[in-house]
Structure formats: structure tokens, C-alpha cells
């Protein structure tokens, strides 16, 4: 049977648990339960930790460039939807829509004109049709003049 010896007072226990209870109640200190992945020192932590201190973590883990967990092949290049200028952006952050100049001047806040031919649903405007009753020329939107008979309203 394995015996566990207290590192402070040399008392001997039958289990690691017994040693832990003794050490925390008698010596008012918990025994180390982890080993630092960076420096190898023993330390106590209630939850799973790889490093004994923030200094060891900073030495072991770098968040620069491709080592960053959010790194996704660096910057991408795209064209500004407002002024068509080419610019770089980080794809992991958000899709690049506006160049830094348009963002700085807040030009992106003013939507471009969407009237007439600039409207994405533009289909050519009104059609000129002949009235089936009087023969006069009338103007109708394509959605109102596609039937077999077009009437002017006279």
C-alpha cells in the first residue's frame, strides 16, 4: 500500500485525499495539483489551467499573425461598394463593404439614387399602347398594360 507524506510536517497518510485534507486544514495551504506547461512549476488551481501565471501564459502563447485563433489567411482584398476603390480587410472580422475613406467621411450613410433607371427593379418605364376603344396612345406600366385590351379611360 502506498503512503503519502506531508511535505511540511512529515505526517504520513494512507491516501492522497487524506494528505490534501490534512495539509489544507493544519497548514492552511492546498497542495499543488497542476504543473505549469511553460516553466514546469507545481501550483494549485480549482479548475483546469495550463500555466501558473499570466507571465508564463504570455511567454507560451502568442496571438500574432497565423498563431491567432481568429486568423483566417490574413487580410482579403475587395472593392468598396460606394466608390469602387480597392482595399484590404480582415475576413474573420466582417465582410468588407466600404473602404476606410468612405467610412471616415461617412459617405456610406447616404444611399445612392434608386430612381428611374438606377433602380434595381427598372424594367424600361412606361409603355406606349393604343387604346382599344378610341385609338389614342396611352402610357401604362408593363404590369398594367400587358392584357389583350388596353383602355384609356374615356
Domain boundaries, the chain: 4-60, 76-109, 123-154
Answer whether 44's CB lies under 8 Å from 33's CB. yes
Closest by CA to 81, choosing from 63, 60, 103, 62, is: 103
Indicate the pTM of the whole model. Answer: 0.39
Closest by CA to 13, choosing from 21, 23, 3, is: 3
pLDDT digit of tens for each residue in the chain (154 aa)? 789 899 889 899 999 899 889 989 999 989 888 999 999 999 999 888 999 998 998 888 877 766 676 666 667 888 888 888 898 887 766 677 888 888 888 766 766 667 777 777 777 778 888 877 887 888 887 776 555 566 666 6
Say how far apart CA 130 and CA 94 lie, in whole Å.
53
Amino acid at each position: 500500500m502506498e503512503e503519502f507524506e506531508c511535505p511540511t510536517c512529515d505526517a504520513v497518510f494512507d491516501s492522497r485525499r487524506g494528505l490534501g485534507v490534512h495539509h489544507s486544514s493544519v497548514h492552511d495551504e492546498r497542495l499543488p495539483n497542476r504543473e505549469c506547461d511553460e516553466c514546469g512549476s507545481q501550483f494549485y488551481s480549482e479548475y483546469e489551467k495550463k500555466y501558473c501565471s499570466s507571465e508564463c501564459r504570455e511567454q507560451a502563447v502568442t496571438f500574432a499573425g497565423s498563431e491567432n485563433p481568429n486568423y483566417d489567411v490574413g487580410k482579403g482584398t475587395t472593392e468598396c461598394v460606394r466608390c469602387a476603390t480597392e482595399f484590404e480587410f480582415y475576413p474573420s472580422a466582417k465582410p468588407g463593404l466600404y473602404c476606410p475613406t468612405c467610412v471616415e467621411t461617412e459617405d456610406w450613410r447616404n444611399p445612392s439614387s434608386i430612381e428611374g433607371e438606377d433602380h434595381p427593379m427598372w424594367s424600361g418605364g412606361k409603355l406606349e399602347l393604343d387604346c382599344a376603344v378610341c385609338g389614342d396612345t396611352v402610357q401604362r406600366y408593363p404590369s398594367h398594360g400587358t392584357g389583350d385590351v388596353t383602355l384609356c379611360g374615356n
